[in-house]
């Protein structure tokens, strides 16, 4: 096993620990950490943020949505070759807000690593970074083996908003951690290794060095399309479906959960006003 493979496997096996450490560090350094489920929620979040701060968005909410999808296509889409390797960051209203994608997150330093992004003038007022939860590395020194995989003319480590006395730099730094189906991959022993991917692009056809053989983190890139295409294995969904299955076999519990479920569905899909009463309630009342 190569070093990068070993370290990535270790991170994934202890992902909750390293995310918690990162969160604690970055928060202590003045950053904000937000957890979201997927691109949809990222778009909603950005929409809210821009509205709240009165930052005009050319192209409106739709363009934020498209950008969120580019930043967070999910790890599978990337491996299928369906997403750009280096999503462009988006800058709004002359530096009022910049939305970027992270290359790595470093737990011990509470640092966000961006590649290929020139900090430019004084930097944005609000810097938002979107990152999949799998991007964490334990320590700054791990970069000695990982940075060479992502060569870039500008590599930046953001460790918080501007400090007291600093004359420029973002006044706010917000890290958005996105699940985007990763927790399900994580729960599947056969597919967890896909999350080791660091998006170096070596395996993608048409890229320099492409060829599908020498993935630095030991992902079987030859068999990859197959593994992505195959119907999701049993383990997918794991405990969530076990809980779901339990509730669905207990009509009373199901009905009780109904109210909450409707609220949950509204959140999940952004459904407008779910009905106040379920069918079964309405039916019962109608039959009286």
Q: Is 135 in the site for ligand SF4 (CB under 6 A)?
A: no
Which of 134-142, 161-169, 193-201, 238-246 is the region at the interface with ligand SF4 (rule: CB under 6 A)? Answer: 193-201
> Angle, nearest 10°, between helix axes 3-13 and 15-28?
80
CB of 221 to ligand SF4, least distance (A): 5
Q: What contacts 172, CB < 8 A, 6 or more positions away?
A: 32, 125, 126, 127, 161
Q: Is 25 in the site for ligand SF4 (CB under 6 A)?
A: no
Question: Which of ligand SF4, other proteins, none does 73 bind, CB closer than 5 to 8 A by kind?
Answer: none
Nearer to ligand SF4, 26 or 79 (CB): 79
HSE-up (13 A, CA, CB side) for residue 172: 15
Spatial distance between the Cα atoms of 83 and 132, rounded to a whole number of angstroms: 14
Q: Is 217 in the site for ligand SF4 (CB under 6 A)?
A: yes
In 3D space, the residue among 196, 270, 176, 194 whose CA is nearest the CA of residue 236 turns out to be: 194
Contact 128, 49 (CB under 8 A): yes
Nearer to ligand SF4, 116 or 216 (CB): 216
The dihedral sign for the CA sequence 187, 189, 191, 193 = positive
Question: Which of ligand SF4, other proteins, none does 93 bind, CB closer than 5 to 8 A by kind?
Answer: none
What does DSSP assign to residue 220? -
Q: Which two tokens stand for residue 186?
A: 């994580």
Q: Is 201 in the site for ligand SF4 (CB under 6 A)?
A: yes
Q: Binding string to ligand SF4 for residues 75 to 104, with x set by CB under 6 A, is what? A: ----x-------------------------
Q: Which two tokens stand for residue 112?
A: 């966000």
Tell which one of 25, 90, 200, 256 touches ligand SF4 (CB under 6 A).
200
Contact 217, 197 (CB under 8 A): yes
CB of 53 to other proteins, least distance (A): 19
Buried b / exposed e over 89-112, threshold 16 CB at 10 Å, is bbebeebebbbbbbbbbbbebbbb
Question: Which of ligand SF4, other proteins, none does 202 bind, CB closer than 5 to 8 A by kind?
Answer: ligand SF4
Q: Left if phi > 0, otherwise alpha if psi is -120 to 50, otherwise beta: which for 25?
A: alpha
100 — phi, psi (to 5°)? Answer: -125, 170
Tell which one of 145, 203, 283, 288 touches ligand SF4 (CB under 6 A).
203
CB of 262 to other proteins, least distance (A): 5
CB of 216 to ligand SF4, least distance (A): 6
Q: Binding string to ligand SF4 for residues 255 to 274, with x set by CB under 6 A, is what? A: --------------------
Which of 44-52, 212-220, 252-260, 271-279 is the region at the interface with ligand SF4 (rule: CB under 6 A)? Answer: 212-220
Spatial distance between the Cα atoms of 43 and 98, rounded to a whole number of angstroms: 14
Q: Is 219 in the site for ligand SF4 (CB under 6 A)?
A: yes
User: Which residues here bind ligand SF4, judged by CB under 6 A?
Assistant: 79, 197-203, 215-217, 219, 221
């Amino acid at each position: 096993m190569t070093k990068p493979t070993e370290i990535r496997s270790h991170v994934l096996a202890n992902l909750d620990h390293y995310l918690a450490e990162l969160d604690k560090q970055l928060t202590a350094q003045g950053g904000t950490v937000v957890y979201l489920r997927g691109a949809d929620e990222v778009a909603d979040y950005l929409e809210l943020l821009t509205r709240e701060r009165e930052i005009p968005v050319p192209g409106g909410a739709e363009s934020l949505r498209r950008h969120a999808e580019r930043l967070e296509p999910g790890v599978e889409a990337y491996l299928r070759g369906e997403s750009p390797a280096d999503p462009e960051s988006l800058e709004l209203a002359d530096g009022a807000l910049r939305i970027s994608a992270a290359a790595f997150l470093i737990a011990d330093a509470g640092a966000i690593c961006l590649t290929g992004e020139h900090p430019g003038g004084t930097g944005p007022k609000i810097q938002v970074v979107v990152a999949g939860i799998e991007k964490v590395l334990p320590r700054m020194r791990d970069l000695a083996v990982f940075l060479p995989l992502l060569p870039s003319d500008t590599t930046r480590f953001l460790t918080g908003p501007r400090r007291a006395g600093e004359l420029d730099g973002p006044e706010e730094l917000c890290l958005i951690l996105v699940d985007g189906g990763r927790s399900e991959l994580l729960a599947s022993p056969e597919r967890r290794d896909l999350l080791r991917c660091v998006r170096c692009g070596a395996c993608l056809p048409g890229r320099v060095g492409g060829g599908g053989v020498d993935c630095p983190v030991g992902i079987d890139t030859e068999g990859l399309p197959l593994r992505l295409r195959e119907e999701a294995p049993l383990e997918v969904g794991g405990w969530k479906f076990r809980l779901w299955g339990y509730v669905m076999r207990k009509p009373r519990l199901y009905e009780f959960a109904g109210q909450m479920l409707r609220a949950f569905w509204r959140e999940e899909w952004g459904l407008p006003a779910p009905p106040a009463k379920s069918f079964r309630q309405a039916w019962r009342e109608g039959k009286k």
